Structure 1
């Protein structure tokens, strides 16, 4: 699959990690995909720090991100550490813009305020589970003022802002890695866009930032796939063109199960450094997970490379060749 920017514009990709702990190998794999695309098409690789979850913020975690990528020789062109034309690159420094967009969506009728307490929402979810209904907000607050909402009980003084999803139809998009994806709108939740503390959730901030930083390709892990319909709805409501959105496969352990920090210390990129691995060896291993090098005798099949530098990874990289199946890490 050929990669190009919207309307022939320069390709721009981003890594948007949260500084909440160690650097996960899955994030580094996405960073390698981003950097490979940027190099191959003479584009820009941006690092954007998603630090709006202040409860989980860990001092020093942001520097760990830079250090891990630099150790592997992965280069980026813009970010909090080096600036750029779309600064600031930390979400905590962009809060007024998120609030402005949230208020615009409410004014348009594409979002609404919700005053439901955590206790009421918990009771609602339990009732839905008992009735075998899809877990989604019941829209008790939709179309009501704060005063009207108080009459129903289960009320809190500080509201959140929820996205109003369509009641009918499907949300469909083409993922370069997974093909056409379709979600039934009636089953989708009205996700929170703005929290009661005034901080945005990922569902709002990622759309605003990707649009305003002119990101052409949003590459992220498979775990974000269920969030994509909400993001596309925000793009539609704001009359913005979404980027190409692709979801890389999960990394699995040797038993094809989920990676556990406790059982699999190599989930932490720092482990490779502490154990004496050469960065070239780690880069080679990750490169063989994502880049497709045709076999000379059978071009339809790939061949593993014993020496796979970043330049060669970029040369042979194609989003469509990654495939949606989980990638086994056997160390």
Structure 2
């Protein structure tokens, strides 16, 4: 049985966003599900628009999401000699030919065709045919190379998403496969790469459907069968437009910086065009175990940040607390708050607050009160820390100063202070929250206080 080999082949001409990275996730998952090989190929032949910064975001984003590649990254610009070798072979075998038609002549031809209500296309002026006399070669003109597309018949393939697709060869003109300066064109390079890398399945966006018949014809001209194709519907943004940088899409790595977990982003992206029954929340391991091409969606997926935050919240709840402690420590470090993630209280703090959070940034917002001064709002102080409750706060501070610093003893000190002053729990607990935590709402006050340094709690209570 042939080993499955898939590839992700981004162009580094703009920063990779979630819509792009889904085209990496599916071939990665398909390769992993079938003990196959996943290849990363950087299609950087657009030298003017390609940038190292964009390459870095691709590599960084894939590493963060755990989309590890087995081979590559290969760079097309480093394969130019190979492309030129195949171009030479195609010329020799009559699969390609030199075309000296200038850009001006091509434009004039197109204008005539449009005026005659014909589809604009190259008319084969320089295509060699038996008994045909070609025009004289103009002086000083560098030719392009064109592929001899088959005449008559159709290109047919069974797309794993779109079903059977058939395109008449008469709809396709002779494709330029090398420019006047000899540099090969995209559709040609893709075929040579897929051939050399023995790609068995091409899983990519449906903006490539129009390229596919041309690529299939080149494969067959070279004596090879094309891979299996699966063309994924577009990912739309929240406004229903194609997700793009121009329409506000963010870099993949921005989600890392905003406190999303890679497992959650992978889970969300997988569901944005593929399904396994009604399963909404699943692990990377479950995705790999379940993934196939038969359950890819045929309709465009629409990105919804609210749904992504919900998925992230579910993964946050399930995340190991020591792992969360490290991620929250990274978020706090960006704010200039240094903390030892190995401090066992960090993991316990994460455990206490993670059910209230959608991201590690929100978790860091909660945990900051343990590590830096808090400033209660004037409104909270006026509302909750009244003259009537200050004596009870002083009683509580005195009791807390003498207890073992654990939840049961803290709870007992609070109960005794409430009883001594004839109060109800919220009448004392809320002012304590305001003074110690800087906010009126928290989880159970004894659980929250236990995870503070005792001296910090006493200092903040002694303000009154």
| TM value normalised by structure 2 | 0.61
C-alpha distance after superposition, 1:60-105 (max 9, x if no partner): 322211101111121111113xxxxxxxx22111112211211222
Q: Is the 8 A contact 1:290 1:317 kept in 2?
A: no
Superposed, 1:307-318 pairs within 5 Å as 307-318=281-292
State the partner residue of 1:328: 302
Q: Displacement of 1:111 after TM fit?
A: 1.6
Matched, 1:73 2:66: yes
Rg comparison, structure with higher value: 2
Q: 1:100 aligns with which of 71, 85, 90?
A: 85
User: For residues 246 and 45 of structure 2, what CA distance do their matches in structure 1 show?
Assistant: 26
Q: Is the 8 A contact 2:274 2:297 kept in 1?
A: no
State the partner residue of 1:163: 147
State the partner residue of 1:122: 107
Structure 1 residue runs of 4 or more that deviate by more than 4 Å after TM superposition:
144-147
Query: Which structure is higher in helix share?
Result: 2
Q: Displacement of 1:185 after TM fit?
A: 0.9
Change (3 A) 1:24 1:159: farther
Change (3 A) 1:259 1:125: farther
State the partner residue of 1:300: none
Q: 2:164 aligns with which of 158, 171, 180?
A: 180
Matched, 1:139 2:124: yes
Structure 1 stretches lacking a partner, 5+ long? 1-7, 81-88, 295-302
Q: Is the 8 A contact 1:135 1:189 kept in 2?
A: no
Change (3 A) 1:326 1:142: same
Q: 2:180 aligns with which of 196, 202, 210?
A: 196
Q: 2:136 aligns with which of 134, 138, 148?
A: 148
Q: Is the 8 A contact 2:188 2:215 kept in 1?
A: yes
Change (3 A) 1:313 1:135: farther
User: For residues 27 and 260 of structure 1, what CA distance do their matches in structure 2 show?
Assistant: 9
Greater relative contact order (CA < 8 Å, ≥ 6 in sequence): 1
User: For residues 72 and 88 of structure 2, what CA distance do their matches in structure 1 show?
Assistant: 28
Matched, 1:289 2:272: yes
State the partner residue of 1:83: none
Change (3 A) 1:30 1:115: same
User: For residues 262 and 93 of structure 1, what CA distance do their matches in structure 2 show?
Assistant: 30
User: For residues 214 and 134 of structure 1, what CA distance do their matches in structure 2 show?
Assistant: 35
State the partner residue of 2:240: 256
C-alpha distance after superposition, 1:140-198 (max 9, x if no partner): 22238997142xxxx87211111121221111111111111100111112211112222
State the partner residue of 1:297: none
Query: Which structure is higher in strand share?
Result: 1
User: For residues 55 and 99 of structure 2, what CA distance do their matches in structure 1 show?
Assistant: 33
User: For residues 291 and 312 of structure 1, what CA distance do their matches in structure 2 show?
Assistant: 13
Superposed, 1:45-64 pairs within 5 Å as 45-64=38-57
| TM value normalised by structure 1 | 0.84
Which stretch has the larger CA shift, 164-173 or 108-117?
A: 108-117
Structure 2 stretches lacking a partner, 5+ long? 306-464
Which stretch has the larger CA shift, 257-266 or 199-208?
A: 257-266
